[in-house]
Amino acid sequence: MPHVHQRLTSSAHDRAGLRRHDDAWIEARWADAESRVLVVAGNRVHAPLGRIDWVSPHEAPAGVRLLLGEREDRAWFASILPAGQPEHTAEDGWVSLRGLLPVLTDDPTDSSLVLHAIGMAEWLAATRYCPRCGGPLSAAAEGHELRCTVGHVTFPRTDPAVIMLVTSGEPGSPEERCLLGNGAAWPEGRFSTLAGFCEPGESLEDAVRREVAEEAGVRVDEVTYFGNQPWPLPASLMLGFFGRVEDTEEARAIACDPAELREARWFTRDELYFGAASGESVLPGGISISRSLIEAWYGGPLPGSW
């Protein structure tokens, strides 16, 4: 497979984890006008005119302060505001993560910081009470821990999810095919790789085989790792794989779970290209690991996207 650049894994910042309990250092950085703050309202950030709006600490509204880390000799923070306030609307330039994908595709420099901030905002919003005693929680360690009045500490969680491009046929041949699905809730014609969460006690490879069998009725044999991508809605790490299916009609037979997929289809490279070029088959956006998997198999860039 040719190398395909995965944009959401290419610009990691220094998370400065050892500084989260260093109150003097944090206050000095917060007082520094060169530090930058991302204001997050629910899972929306302010991005008017297609640019992410980083502000100085004295311009940031009060919220849960989150230390994102360091980059370019600056400290970077987020201020997490409650969701659902009337002023945080699309009309006023507040954009969800999905709406930010075109911005991050054009300039992925901020992607690591933005995903960190939104992932933590999602966790803080969802984790309201101590899972051990049910008591109220308050933020500590610059937003990276939650503590109850008894002293129990709750840490952020990340759930592994597998995302896979399944193929059949002689690798590299004109007859080789890849399997893509149209989600049950998507518009017709929108196709992507299959995906699902890993269950407790399950290997990643077995999760690939189970999810493909459950969603499309196809039995995967060989599974190989491709790469990964954070996706903080709600708290996922997307682990990308290629899966191989025997090149027989029986092995390729599709039986969709209608709760998951409206349709699944095998595409040759020519079918994939001409479908994407005509708009008949609309593929995921360029910043997603799904797009990276598809283009790695195809052998280069493809036209069109969501």
Q: Per residue in 177-209, pLDDT tens?
A: 999 999 999 999 999 999 999 999 999 999 999
Predicted confidence (pLDDT) per residue in 54-111, tens digit: 999 999 999 999 999 999 999 999 999 876 666 777 778 888 887 887 777 666 678 8
pTM of the shown model: 0.84
Mean pLDDT to the nearest integer, 28-37: 97
pLDDT of residue 108: 67
Predicted confidence (pLDDT) per residue in 147-166, tens digit: 999 999 999 989 999 999 99
Residue 10 has pLDDT above 70, yes or no: no
Task: Report how many helices (DSSP H) and strands (DSSP E) the chain contains, helices first.
Answer: 7, 15
Cβ neighbours of residue 126 under 8 Å, at least 6 residues apart? 234, 235
If one counts every other C-beta atom within 10 angstroms of the C-beta of residue 149, the result is 11
Length of the chain: 306
Least confident of 7-11, 49-53, 98-102: 7-11
**What are residue 46's phi and psi, to 5 degrees?**
-85, 115
Rounded to whole angstroms, the Cα distance separating 123 from 168 reads: 39
What domains are there in the chain, each with its CATH number? Answer: 7-126 (3.90.79), 159-298 (3.90.79.10)
Torsion of CA 141, 147, 153, 155, to 10 degrees: -60
pLDDT band at 306 (very low <50, low <70, confident <90, very high): confident
